[in-house]
Each structure stands twice: as structure tokens, then as C-alpha cells.
């Protein structure tokens, strides 16, 4: 007796350009429609279809309209997955992210809406779609680790506590955003840096969220929760910095945690270029 195995289904958010686009490209080139289906998440659906055309419209890639800063958009995407794509996922790659250099309450809320709260909402509401042994991959950054190391010892202990809950982490995030408004960052234990500071705190919070999700969901359907950094790559976000490495290398860093057998990965781990790093 033979059984038809359903193809692995992978959602990549923020995939119409940059590293996310390259992840989709490499996945589509190395698998057939019978093996892997890739959902190309894009906040702007037109740009999503433009990206699909750049890929020459492979049969195993489908555009999914998904604005990760909008709960309504996320819920609509879930319904589309249920109606058009079998209602299941094997892997969620939370790649979408933004960075705003200015340090204001409005910019902080914009950054956290995409880089933290959106990911939290996606993972919470898409977890029921994940198959047994599925994966949640939160694309983070070394900047998150560096930002944590600049914080006071007390703040470091809060963000890395093994007893930290999602509610408590949300309170830390809201306290941070409020302190931006009141110019009270240093009294809370943050050490401000130019350009990447708010982005760095958002990734610091995302690393903490990954640890919480690991504790919550590793026993549920044996889910694997991971963080990965693509490294400092030449993309739109970095203004194609001349001292940055190629976006292809960044994509390969993400592909490692997508494709490596689960027994060779550590749930809750933070990876770069296939290497497990420490986050505290």
C-alpha cells in the first residue's frame, strides 16, 4: 500500500525583495511542486506578483497578501491558506522587518508593529496550521544581541529570564516605547545608539519571544522554534552598504534552519551560517 505525501509548505514573510526573495528563489529552484510549496508573503500584493514574475512564475510559488503589521491582514492570510493551500504549514519564516533611524514614539511603534507584535500575532494564530514537527523561524539580528549587551545588568536579566512570560515581555516593550516618549531610556537601563537602536531593541525583544515560544510550544506537536540572523547584508534596509556581505549568504543562513534535520538543531537556538550562537 502506498500513501501520497503532501508537499512541504513554507511561508516566508516579507519575501517580495531582499533576503526573503532570495530564500523563496533558492527554495523554488531546489524542489519541485510535489516536494515543496512556497508562499511568498508580501505586504504590497502588486510587488508580490512583480517578485513572482522575476522568479519566472515557478509552479511551486504562490503570492500571499500579508502585511505583518496588521492583525486583520494576518487573519485574512490564514483564511486564504485554509481555502487555497490546504490549511496547513510546515514552516513559518518570519522574515519581514523594518528599521527607522529616528528615535521617536511613533517610529518605535511602527518598528515594533512589524518586528515584534506582528510576529507574535502570526505565531500565535498560525500555530494551529503547523503540522506535527513543524518549525517557527524568527529572523533576528546580531544587532539584537549587541543591544542587549549594552543594557544594564538588571534589564539583561529581565529579557533573558527563563521565567519571563509573554505578558511580562509585552510590558517591557511597552515600557520601552513609553520611555522613548518621556526621554527616560537611560533610567530604565537602555544605552542609546544611533541609527539601529530601536531596531536593535525590537530584535532583542524578538529573541526573548523566541525563548518564550520554545517553552510554550516545543511540547505541542513537537514544534521547533528558532532564531536566525542572516548577518549584515547588502540590501535595501542597509542601503546596500559596501562593507556588508552578500544577501545570498544571508539567505543561505536562513535556509540552513529551514532544511537541516530537526535532530541536528536546538529548539530555541540562535543560528548564523549554520553555527549555534549564544544570545546573552
pLDDT digits (tens, 9 = 90+) for 28-55: 999 888 899 999 999 999 999 999 999 9
pLDDT digits (tens, 9 = 90+) for 180-227: 999 999 999 999 876 789 999 999 999 999 999 999 987 778 899 999
- Domain-embedded: residue 149: no
Percent of the chain having pLDDT more than 70?
94
pLDDT at 35: 93
Q: Is 225:214 a contact under the CB 8 Å cutoff?
A: yes
- Domain-embedded: residue 2: no
- Domain-embedded: residue 271: yes
- Is the per-residue pLDDT at 234 higher than 90? no
CATH of the domain at 242: 3.40.50.720
- Of 228, 181, 176, the C-alpha closest to 199 is 176
- Is the per-residue pLDDT at 1 higher than 50? no
Number of folded domains that form the chain: 1
pLDDT digits (tens, 9 = 90+) for 241-258: 677 677 788 899 999 999
Task: Enter the pTM of the model.
Answer: 0.94
- Domain-embedded: residue 107: no
User: Residue 157: which pLDDT band, with cuts at 50, 70 and 90?
Assistant: very high
Q: Is 21:93 a contact under the CB 8 Å cutoff?
A: no
Which residues are CB-neighbours of 210 under 8 A, at least 6 positions away? 138, 140, 225, 226, 227, 268, 270
Cell of 7: 508537499
* Sign of the four-CA dihedral 260, 261, 266, 267: positive
Query: Containing domain of residue 251, as a range?
Result: 8-98+121-142+204-277
pLDDT at 2: 39
Amino acid at each position: 500500500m502506498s500513501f501520497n505525501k503532501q508537499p512541504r509548505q513554507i511561508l516566508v514573510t516579507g519575501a517580495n525583495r531582499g533576503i526573503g526573495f532570495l530564500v523563496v528563489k533558492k527554495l523554488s529552484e531546489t524542489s519541485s511542486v510535489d516536494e515543496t510549496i512556497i508562499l511568498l508573503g508580501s505586504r504590497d500584493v502588486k510587488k508580490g506578483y512583480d517578485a513572482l514574475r522575476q522568479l519566472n512564475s515557478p509552479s511551486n510559488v504562490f503570492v500571499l497578501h500579508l502585511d505583518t503589521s496588521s492583525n486583520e491582514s494576518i487573519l485574512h492570510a490564514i483564511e486564504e491558506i485554509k481555502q487555497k493551500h490546504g490549511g496547513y504549514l510546515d514552516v513559518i519564516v518570519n522574515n519581514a522587518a523594518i528599521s527607522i533611524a529616528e528615535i521617536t514614539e511613533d517610529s518605535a511603534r511602527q518598528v515594533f508593529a512589524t518586528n515584534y507584535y506582528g510576529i507574535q500575532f502570526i505565531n500565535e494564530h498560525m500555530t494551529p496550521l503547523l503540522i506535527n514537527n513543524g518549525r517557527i523561524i524568527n529572523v533576528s539580528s546580531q544587532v539584537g544581541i549587541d543591544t542587549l549587551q549594552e543594557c544594564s545588568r538588571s534589564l539583561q536579566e529581565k529579557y533573558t529570564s527563563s521565567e519571563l512570560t509573554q505578558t511580562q515581555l509585552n510590558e517591557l516593550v511597552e515600557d520601552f516605547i513609553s520611555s522613548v516618549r518621556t526621554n527616560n531610556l537611560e533610567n530604565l537601563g537602555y544605552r542609546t545608539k544611533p541609527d539601529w537602536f530601536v531596531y536593535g531593541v525590537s530584535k532583542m525583544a524578538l529573541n526573548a519571544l523566541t525563548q518564550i515560544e520554545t517553552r510554550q510550544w516545543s511540547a505541542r506537536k513537537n514544534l521547533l522554534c528558532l532564531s536566525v540572523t542572516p548577518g549584515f547584508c547588502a540590501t535595501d534596509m542597509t542601503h546596500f552598504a559596501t562593507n556588508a556581505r552578500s544577501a545570498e549568504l544571508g539567505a543561505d543562513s536562513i535556509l540552513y534552519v529551514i532544511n537541516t534535520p530537526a535532530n541536528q538543531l536546538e529548539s530555541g537556538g540562535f543560528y548564523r551560517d549554520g553555527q549555534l550562537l549564544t544570545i546573552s
